[in-house]
Amino acid sequence: MEAAAISDIGLVRSDNEDSLLVRIEQGLFIVCDGMGGHKAGEVASSMAVKSIDDDLHKLPGPEIARKLNLAIEKANRMIWEQGRENPEWSEMGTTLTAAVIWDNHLTVANVGDSALYIISNQEIRKITRDHTLAQEMVKDGLLRSEDVRKSGYNHILTRALGVQHSVNIDNFEVEIKTGDIILLCSDGLSDIVWDDEIKDIVITHGQDLEKAVQELLKQALARGGFDNISIILIRI
């Protein structure tokens, strides 16, 4: 297994509120996209990554999904408590997508709209589901799926770490194989670069993951770089 990662402020934002974690030895990878004023989003995302990293330094092992969720729940409470105790961090929060890779197995947890994809056999498959108001409207038949990206509701989160005392986590279990490439990213990439474009870039440069993440970033910046852009690529 090998990995490459990059995080960029983009072309519009004044701060980078994304945080990444790459722990190849433990097979642990995280992307967080913080939110909140006065740099509170940066505080929330970095707090989540550090807390989970501290809790899961011994992975892999039995009951990975349960341990991952417990670590996320602990991080959620920590962010929520800090937001209540510090007025300058009030209402801060962060998305989180975490992956644990062990043997031929992938365990995923996500809250918010940071995404995880698998590129395999010339195809791309999105594993996570975005927790946004736009996606809720699609589910309720109020918005067409093809209109999600241009909808103003696409950036309204229905779930995030730190905004409530408890958090609802989505989990996914996926079998993976040698040659598969896993992508974790913030919505600074997935909102403005189409899935098939992501697939083509990754397949073209898949033997050089550093080149692939640079090319994905380059494409997001060419589309306007309206948000922070964070990318992790892992090849099995």
pLDDT of residue 136: 81
The answer, yes or no, to whether residue 204 has pLDDT greater than 70, is: yes
Q: 39 pLDDT band (50/70/90 cuts)? A: confident
Show the domains of the chain with their CATH numbers. 2-235 (3.60.40.10)
Hey, is 184 helix, strand or coil? strand
Q: What is the dihedral of CA 123, 155, 17, 158, to 10 degrees?
A: -90
pLDDT tens string 131-188: 988 888 877 887 887 778 777 777 889 999 999 999 999 999 999 999 999 999 999 9
Structure tokens at 37: 């004023």
The answer, yes or no, to whether residue 236 has pLDDT greater than 90, is: yes
Size of the chain, expressed as the number of residues it contains: 236
Q: Tell me the one-letter amino acid at 58.
A: K
- Given the structure tokens 């505080």, which residue do they identify? 43
Contact 162, 96 (CB under 8 A): no
- pTM for the model stands at 0.94
Contact 18, 228 (CB under 8 A): yes
Residue 33, CA distances (Å) to 119, 165, 180, 205, 227 in order = 22, 19, 25, 26, 10
The answer, yes or no, to whether residue 38 has pLDDT greater than 70, is: no
